[in-house]
Structure 1
């Protein structure tokens, strides 16, 4: 039986991952986040996570793959993976994007 949307993947749930999540929740400022991620991740790991979040934001706003590649440099494989997570994942991107930009338009403006 599969897990429902929004449920924590039991393969991920353990004491060390709980500790990591609690550590992230303890950060209070953008500067603290930078300090923590600088110590925790390589620069390329951090850039990859930032890129995936921007890909998710752009997909949700209705941008084309070509627009997303031009802005982020992400591969079409990465864009497809993020799109799959947006459609069938645990709703993590949705939660974060809703909180970062409540009420933001979902479609790009065509000027």
Structure 2
């Protein structure tokens, strides 16, 4: 598994830090300190691309609505099809939470 190459003390500390955040405001503040605005927007864009691919949107529609390159869309699609299933897991959890608050 490719993810095993990433494992290590520094990355564990990063993930533990993210998991310790208590609410959306803490997330905004932490990621503002941790990443550049472009990095944060790229991460958010990838998640939106995953959502749109899952919903059956075309590359053209995704590119137009998100500004993502076809390379980014292809990478996300590859992860959806052959990755660790985490896009699907996270999108389902977010969808479930959104339904609870309606």
Aligned length: 97
SS in 2 for 1:101: helix
User: Which protein, 1 or 2, shows the higher relative CO under an 8 Å CA cutoff with sep ≥ 6?
Assistant: 1
**Which of 46, 52, 70 is the equivalent residue of 2:64?**
70
Instruction: Work out the CA distance in 1 between the residues paired with 2:17 and 2:89.
Output: 19
44, 48, 51: which one aligns with 1:54:
48
Tell me what 2:39 maps to.
45
TM-superposed CA distance for 1:62, in Å, is 0.6
Alpha-carbon RMSD: 1.4
User: How far is 1:100 from its partner?
Assistant: 0.3
Instruction: Give the unaligned 5+ runs of structure 2.
Output: none
Normalization by structure 2: what TM-score? 0.90
Query: What SS class does the counterpart of residue 74 from structure 1 fall into?
Result: coil
Structure 1 residue runs of 4 or more that deviate by more than 3 Å after TM superposition: none
Counterparts of residues 71-90 of structure 1 (less than 5 Å): 71-90=65-84
Counterpart of 1:109 in structure 2 is none
Q: Gaps spanning 5+ residues in structure 1: where?
A: 105-111
Q: Indicate the structure with greater helix content.
A: 2
Q: Secondary structure of 1:62's partner?
A: coil
Q: For residues 7-26 of structure 1, what are the structure 2 equivalents within 5 Å?
A: 9-26=3-20
Take 1:50 and 1:79, find their aligned partners in 2: how far apart are those partners?
A: 13
In the superposition, the TM-score normalised over structure 1's length comes to 0.83
